[in-house]
Amino acid sequence: MDLGCRHRVSLRFTSLPKSRESRPRRGRLNSGTVSERTLIKNLAASADGPISVSGWVETVRDQKKVQFVVLRDESGAVQLVHPRAFEEDGSAAPDALADTISALTVGSFLTATGELKHDERVKLGGVEIKLDALDVASVAADIPIAADSGIDKRMDWRFIDLRRPEQNLIARVQSTFEHALRSYWIENDFVEIHTPKLMASASESKAELFEVDYFEGKAYLSQSPQFFKQMAQPAGFGKIFEVGPAFRADPSFTSRHATEFTSVDAEFSWIDSHEDVMTLHENLIVAGFTAIKEKHGEAIKALFDVEVTVPTTPFPRIPLAEAKRIVAERGYEVPRADDDMDPEGERQIAAYALETYGHEFVFLTDYASSIRPFYHMRHDDDPSLTKSYDLIFNGVEISTGAQREHRIDVLTAQAKDKGLDPEELDFYLDFFRYGVPPHGGFGMGLSRVIMLLLHQANLREVTYLFRGPTRLLP
């Protein structure tokens, strides 16, 4: 039989023991038989005896007297064992199962049934399965990448690259983080909204807009839910959040930029200053990191050699001007004194926060109004500064937050001060003409948080399917 074909191959060589067949079944195999599938992570807690597992072939060791197959599923890996059959004279006996194992290709998906045995000598989980039967659901061609392949090649074959245990864990860590954030928001009476991603005009910089045809006119992909999450404040929602896609037409090829990313946003009413926003932000981070450490801490240590640290509150807060002085004293001058902190400056101030406060996070506050959007509220005693912040984590900015300007006359004046035409912002300014409470919020890049938490060097490693200036596939 040709196991190199792309059609489904179903091979079964022995029936299940009666004790197994009499047990309740669930989960129908492609072959038409019915069996109970056990996740590999649960084998250690399972009793010795009949068992069925499904996954893909990771390695095959085809030895003269015994064959070994390492099978991996979404939860872990297990060793399958099949002693070869021999005649009394020592010659090889007919053994269809052995022939099937010899023909297995790495990456093939199959179901294995056999006898589970606990054996502490087995390095892979302390258990192994002595094979009774194999049901090959899908045969794999030669895998075109390896674990040490370059990142661009692995991105070309991302659906295979994602089979690595590290990638599986990254996805689970992200799920746990998002769930923890949502739980915190819901428990604190926030409302989840889903803002449109097709917009009639820019929400932030026109230079970073993707323009798309929209019937007889043009539309733009949303760079941020900023305007729409603010719209929920005059609507009386009070506290809202969203986790959704955002798009930036930014031709950057750095390790931390993407043209499509997942933005974590929150906005809420009746705040006194941006300090309230920072307090919410740090509480969310603590909730998320606590959940990650409890659920995945050991696995993260094993696969990434990273100890998850749950940060203490409050996070350090340093005004931007002071942060630049500190960085200068460390021997690095930010190129433009009136500009934002650059990447090296972020690394330096993060190192300072770790050395001084023992903290991986630091808020940089009080950004100049000249480099902040028109809707950021300015200090009453110094209009050159805004009530805003950036959150730095392990040397990289992951978020921007602020108190918003809610007074229509001041907001209009600030827009003009930025050279913007209020008429072009009319739909946005309407939000503030009919009553709106003091409010503020933040936007945070999800993948950046996960990248920095796991000490990965590139955003591509922690993004399910990365999109950048030269990548639209797969």
397 is in an annotated binding site: yes
Where along the chain do the CATH 2.40.50.140 domains lie?
18-138
369 is in an annotated binding site: no
**Contact assessment for residue 290 and residue 180, using Cβ atoms and an 8 Å cutoff:** yes
Q: What is the pLDDT along the chain (474 residues), one digit of tens a residue?
A: 333 333 333 333 333 333 333 333 333 334 434 368 999 999 999 999 999 999 999 999 999 999 999 999 999 999 999 999 888 888 888 999 999 999 999 999 999 999 999 999 999 999 999 999 999 999 999 999 998 999 999 999 999 999 999 999 999 999 999 999 999 999 999 999 999 999 987 666 667 899 999 999 999 999 999 999 999 999 999 999 999 999 999 998 999 999 999 999 999 999 999 999 999 999 999 999 999 999 999 999 999 999 999 999 999 999 999 999 999 999 999 987 667 899 999 999 999 999 999 999 999 999 999 999 999 999 999 999 999 999 999 999 999 999 999 999 999 999 999 999 999 899 999 999 999 999 999 999 999 999 999 999 999 999 999 999 999 999
447 is in an annotated binding site: yes
150 is in an annotated binding site: no
461 is in an annotated binding site: no
400 is in an annotated binding site: yes
104 is in an annotated binding site: no
User: 18-138 sits in which CATH class?
Assistant: mainly beta
pTM of the model: 0.90
Cα-based angle 202, 208, 214 (whole degrees, multiple of 5): 55
Q: Is 52 helix (H, G, I), strand (E, B) or coil?
A: strand
Across 126-188, where does the E strand assignment appear? 127-138
- pLDDT tens sequence across 30-53: 443 436 899 999 999 999 999 999
Q: 70 burial class (0-12, 13-18, 19+ CB within 10 angstroms)?
A: middle
448 is in an annotated binding site: yes
**Contact assessment for residue 401 and residue 391, using Cβ atoms and an 8 Å cutoff:** yes
Residues in Cβ contact with 96 at an 8 Å cutoff, skipping those fewer than 6 apart = 11, 13
Q: Between β-strands 127-138 and 76-83, what pairing exists: parallel, antiparallel or unpaired? A: parallel
Where along the chain do the CATH 3.30.930.10 domains lie?
153-462
User: 153-462 sits in which CATH class?
Assistant: alpha beta
378 is in an annotated binding site: no
